[in-house]
Structure 1
């Protein structure tokens, strides 16, 4: 079996690359939100939230397709709560950028990322029924995602220390 694909013992190189790339991009996303105006990091991360969000959305779709194609080979979940936690993480990683796209479209403004027009804008009134719920939920669900990510990290280290199966090693590749 190729080391690119998942196995019952560990995740393959593609799954690990997608996981860690998304982890790095999520850290970047949260920096775009928490770095105060005028901070030296603002010159690095400022103005990248939408582009990085789009990249994350593309990666999560790729990751979902990859996970489905490897579903019979992947390491088993440790428990039902672990499985539900992962489903919640995936669900939020899909829903949050979708809400942002809905809000962007409803605003009538064009959406450009990486120098490309992803959605053209439109003239006329904003579509409030698209903007209001997305504005309410996008940020709040983003913070919920952060809480779940922190829980995900804590549980990986707890399982590592308590002598359970070393789930972190499955994603590191050892």
Structure 2
């Protein structure tokens, strides 16, 4: 039976569920962007891109829940294997929050309605656009997204490296073995 809480040897079922749910949603986000770039205006693009904002919102909510759970579990969690690993994880968390946050700012500043999962998250408005809310995402959202992709690839590569090289099998901590 799986343990609910984290312990010094491995992550509990809550941390693992949040991690792998976020991994699947993040992978989908990257698929939507790649399809949008390579197959713009196709039926697949219309479907995939239509899910991008709602999935980003869901990811942001999961990041907040995951950070709260990590703070709650901070004295029980497995230790980082290095300072670099700790900084890498903090950077991933930061980007996973900042990227959708600035997109939400842009959405609101544009005055366009935002409906996700059938719920109105932001009503639209007809006043002039709010440029200071639009500018950060226009400048950074996509570039930070590509940076996040590179960091995720590095994260996966390092987990596999540690697994193959012996020593600390950090992947086993997150797969429950």
Name the TM tier (shorter chain): over 0.9
CA distance in 2 between counterparts of 1:20 and 1:109 reads 32
Query: For the aligned residues, what is the CA RMSD?
Result: 1.3
Aligned position for 1:12? 12
1:160 to 144, 147, 163: 163
Number of paired residues? Answer: 173
After the TM superposition, which residues 56-75 of structure 1 pair with which residues of structure 2 at under 5 Å, given as runs? 56-75=59-78
Aligned position for 1:29? 29
1:80 to 78, 83, 92: 83
After the TM superposition, which residues 84-95 of structure 1 pair with which residues of structure 2 at under 5 Å, given as runs? 84-95=87-98
TM-score (norm 2): 0.93
CA distance in 1 between counterparts of 2:98 and 2:167 reads 32
- Name stretches of at least 5 consecutive residues in structure 2 with no aligned partner: none
Cα deviation digits, residues 33-73 of structure 1 (max 9, x gap): 11123656436523000010111011111100111111000
CA distance in 1 between counterparts of 2:100 and 2:90 reads 16
Judging changes above 3 Å, is the alpha-carbon distance between structure 1 residues 168 and 136 closer, same or farther for their aligned structure 2 residues? same
Judging changes above 3 Å, is the alpha-carbon distance between structure 1 residues 33 and 86 closer, same or farther for their aligned structure 2 residues? same
Q: Could you tell which deviates more after superposition, 150-159 or 37-46?
A: 37-46
Shift of 1:128: 1.1
Aligned position for 2:122? 119
CA distance in 1 between counterparts of 2:41 and 2:133 reads 32
